[in-house]
Amino acid sequence: MKKALIAVLIITAIIISACAAPKGKSEEEKLRQQLKKWESFDSQGIAEVSYKSLAIRKMFSAAKNGSQLRFDLFDGGLLGSAGEPLLTMYLGDYVAVKSPFIPMLELLDFTHTAPLQSLKLSANTDSLIALYGERIIKNKKLELNGVTINFNKDYLLDSISEKENQTRIQALYNSRGDLSELVVTSIDNIALRMSFDKIEYVQPQIIPLPKPELSFTEDTLKGLNNLNLESLLKEFLQYKKEGQK
């Protein structure tokens, strides 16, 4: 009788201990933890901008907070002493570009080539999970408004594709699961590879570029009709490549 009672007490203790043990993270918590990293961050590293056979490697800083993102490309040296950026791009309610070396880039409309839909989807993690969390957990994928987001089994973001502007973003990670590279490719062999030296998951202050206010004369408009992103990017890369010699 005593042996039976002792056995019952042992089994009861095991059950209570199991119930009281800390539970692992739920699938939703894992997803939320990873998505939060894309909601806001501040980063820097080395960027390679390439078009066909032309390519340059420069230091960059990239900061995102909600639906705002700013990318700056610098001409070497420490970021704090690098001077005016070679190229700055701001994405938010509008798209703006500044390039003191190729000012004509500032005259182009990048709205239809920038990944604005992806930016909006990553702006609010809680809202995204509330609306589409179950779908992401089930399929490890979200397809919405022409945007396809793929996740791996641990909910690390794998890739983003935007059908409308034919842009693809591929995320690469190191052995610890930390983001190491982002590769952005678009139509016509234009590519940006960002290799991160530092990423901080903070809410940085984003300083936007002024909103473009395009007001041209008839002659200027005729000249713009002959411009395109490819030719100006090729000019920019060739100019900076010659400057590196």
Q: Where are the beta strands (DSSP E) in the chain?
A: 40-51, 54-65, 68-74, 87-91, 95-98, 141-144, 147-151, 157-162, 167-173, 179-185, 190-200
Cα 25 to Cα 16, 83, 154: the distances in Å are 20, 45, 12
What pLDDT is attached to residue 110? 80
Question: What confidence category does residue 105 fall into, taking pLDDT thresholds of 50, 70 and 90?
Answer: confident
The DSSP-derived string for 96-147 is EEE-SSSGGGGGS--TTTS-HHHHHHTS-HHHHHHHHHHHHHHHSEEEETTE
pTM: 0.80
Render pLDDT for 49-67 as a digit per residue (tens, 0 to 9): 888 778 889 999 999 999 9
Do the Cβ atoms of 187 and 229 come closer than 8 Å?
Answer: no
Residues 6 or more apart in contact with residue 31 via CB below 8 angstroms? 129, 133, 136, 137, 151, 155
CB-based burial, 78-95: b 16+ in 10 Å, e otherwise: eeeebeebbbbbbbbeeb
Cα 153 to Cα 82, 158, 168, 211: the distances in Å are 40, 10, 20, 40
pLDDT beyond 60 at 150: yes
Render pLDDT for 11-53 as a digit per residue (tens, 0 to 9): 555 555 545 444 567 999 999 999 999 999 999 999 998 887 7
What pLDDT is attached to residue 109? 79
Closest CA to 229 of 43, 32, 95, 126: 95
- Give the pLDDT mean for 203-228: 69
What pLDDT is attached to residue 80? 47
CA distance 82 to 110: 26
What pLDDT is attached to residue 113? 79
What single DSSP character describes residue 209? P
What pLDDT is attached to residue 217? 46
Instruction: Give the total residue count for the chain.
Output: 245
- Give the pLDDT mean for 165-191: 90
CA distance 17 to 15: 5
